[in-house]
Structure 1
Amino acid sequence: MGYSVGQVSSFAGVTVRTLHHYDRAGLLSPSERSHAGYRRYSDADLARLRQILFYRELGFPLDEIAAILEDPQTSALEQLRARQRRLREEIARLQRLAEVTERAIEVQQTGVALTPQERSDVFGEITFDLSYATEAQLKWRESRTHREAMARAGAHSKEDWRRLMAEAGGWRTRLLAAFDDGEPDDGERAMDLAEEHRLHLTRWFTPCPPETHRRIADDFVADPRAFALVVPPSEQRPGLAAYLRAAVHANASRRERTRAH
């Protein structure tokens, strides 16, 4: 007798429309007919449908499934191995994406709650780049210092941020003046400004020893987004990021020499 399309749809968990699509595609056509001439699915057809649904669950397109079913001995193993590789690559990609998403959530949660107008009043042209902050979270995720800095940043009040940004703005003005005056990046004035920046980070975020300060300054040159958090693009000069980095390294060396004596 065989099974009607409605019966197969019910116990296979697929729609009648899907079965008709498989029929039109030549992937699964009912092989029997009833006495009245209606097409019916045989047990062999149901076995083939189970194979089709198995490969569909693995993500195979219909044309690849057709090729496997046409030559199961030679095609199936090769196709399954290829699909396994793709699935593993996709799993790894999704794991990376999930980690990035988790870090992005952490970054957002540590941000100070301000309206757009308040954010403009407090931060001015200093913009918050979520992509950079998230990458920094990933880069420093094993760092206790970074976690402490993010926790302290999240605890700052609006007034704290106003004071912090005013302090940073004054320092930035002095940095630009030193750079424009042609002050050597390893001179006392530039190194003192670097030290002032290090103490600013310590005061508002987390202790910043010279070696940590060096790594932070390296990012100023390596990634424009990092430097934009210190000097907005409208105030930047060619070579300024490298100047600040050199001053930070010179100051770190000066502090290490002082400690050695």
Structure 2
Amino acid sequence: MADTPGAGGLTVGQVSARLDVTVRALHHWDEIGLARPSLRTAAGYRLYTPADLERLHRVVVYRELGLGLDRIRVVLDDPAEDVPAALRAQRARIAERIDRLQRLGAGLDRMIDAHERGPLLTAEQQAAVFGPGWDPDGPARARRRYGDTPQWRQYAERSASRTPEEWQAVADAVAELDRALGEAMDAGVTPGSPEADHLAERHREVFASYFPLTRQMQVCLARMYEADPGYAAHYDGIRPGLARWFRRVVDAAARAQGIDPSTATWCESP
């Protein structure tokens, strides 16, 4: 219901329009005694005098500076209040908030970049971490292929906060695993043996640096290692036949966990 104008003051509606403050806020300030109208009409409508309007204007100014209503009351009513000190304290709080928001913005930028391009490393850093044979266009191709999957999102979330030193640790773990797989194959480790099962589990642990890898997903991944020319070339470059041997290792480890490799799918739950 609109307030009816009255002689000697402005109604709540008129003050609301003049100060760009909601009627609800004016009613609240009246109820808590922060800015009460001095007059009432015969019908009981609030009327604000010029002095009331001046106090309301001061309330609005300090509220826009971020002070809480209780603090505004002290600033307006306590003669002993050190207003510059109060404003300096508020400025310090705002500076902290700005710094926090800037850090949040930087984090969002990193997350966006990670979702769009994977590792947040320069071409030089990628070559140093992953070796001269690393293809810097690989993550872009992976995004085009897998960008809509939950695994790419998990990969991006890890990439957003990972430093070059942490990426180096991941690359070292992968290289050490490749070496261990080659040595195990040379030693005649049999798929299904405890040693082979340990290597399969170690592969899952190392791969968790990118995203969680279930055993069903690992079966699908090992299948791709053997079938995809690029992956097969990598593993067979370590030892001829390593891609096929590792698939057999993963299949055997899966069977030991009650998983039929022939029916394993990528989207299975852990």
Of structures 1 and 2, the one scoring higher in RCO (CA 8 A, sep 6+) is 1
Q: Give TM-score, length-normalised by structure 2.
A: 0.48
Hey, which of these two has a bigger chunk of helix by percent? Answer: 1
Q: Give TM-score, length-normalised by structure 1.
A: 0.49
Greater radius of gyration (CA): 2
